[in-house]
Amino acid sequence: MAGATAGGERPAGAAQLLEETIRGLTTHRRGPSDAASAGALVRGIETCCEAGQAGTIVLIEEPELFLRPHTQRYLYRLLRELASAGNQVIYSTHAPAFLNVARLEEFALVERPADGVTRIVQPEPLEPEEEFRVMSEFDAERSELFLSRAAILVEGRTERLALPFVFRALGHDVDRESISIVECGGKAGILLFVETCRAVGVPFVVLHDRDAPAGKRPSPASER
């Protein structure tokens, strides 16, 4: 957290508040454990929110470390509250709990492919009428899409459970390759995930059946 002053002086404002909170929660140990430090971070951000801290830049590397999924979600809400109070919050993460699909414009997706050139993708915001639907469809599991190298968009749970076995039979492991198999809740939901993949630059393929006998036209949903 920014706030330290030059010449070795004690940090002021929010930085001092956070430092004192962490020290108070960990001084009973010879040294703070990773879990204790993670818990102290949550309490420190809580304290900053309760104190009405404003005008601070907060930088956190992987805030999810050593936290339960429930605490990750809680810390995400605290960080949003801190940001809305007039602070700037920046963090790096590999946890879906800290990625809000309704706030695509806040993402900076960073990758460094084999050519060694770092690339950053900053998606455009969703249309207002799409936000509610996206928020209702993207749970933590589906949000792994944003952290994947590629995605396979499928209709339902059966395909999502079966495809890893198909890959394994062919000598591939989807987890090792960072490929997400995303259940879209039927054909009608696939289009939403297609639009999302395009917005964030994740390569994808769509896999679904035709819902029609051979030689017959597929259903309208299949055609779309």
pLDDT at residue 203 tops 80:
yes
Domain with CATH 3.30.1330 in the chain: 1-98
118/211: higher pLDDT: 118
25/34: higher pLDDT: 34
**164: CB partners within 8 A, 6+ apart:** 174, 175, 181
113/90: higher pLDDT: 90
What is this structure's pTM?
A: 0.72
Question: What's the count of helices (H) and strands (E) in the chain, helices before strands?
Answer: 7, 7
Nearest to 62 by CA among 100, 91, 21: 91
Pinpoint the alpha helices (H) of 32-68. 34-50
Give the CATH architecture of domain 1-98.
Answer: 2-Layer Sandwich (3.30)
Query: Given this model, what pLDDT does residue 22 score?
Result: 60
**Percent of the chain whose predicted confidence (pLDDT) is above 90:** 38
Phi-psi region of 163 (alpha: psi -120 to 50; beta: other; left: phi over 0): alpha
Query: Given this model, what pLDDT does residue 85 score?
Result: 94
Strand ranges (DSSP E) for the chain? 57-61, 88-92, 109-111, 119-121, 150-154, 179-183, 204-207
Q: Using CA atoms in the order 38, 79, 182, 132, what is the torsion angle rounded to 10 degrees?
A: 150
Residue 90 to residues 61, 101, 111, 136: CA-CA distances in angstroms? Answer: 9, 16, 17, 25
124-138 residue pLDDT tens: 877 776 766 777 777
| Residue 4: pLDDT band with limits 50, 70, 90 | very low
Nearest to 199 by CA among 127, 122, 123: 123
> What distance in Å separates the CA atoms of residue 105 and residue 101, rounded to the nearest whole number?
9
> What distance in Å separates the CA atoms of residue 199 and residue 145, rounded to the nearest whole number?
12
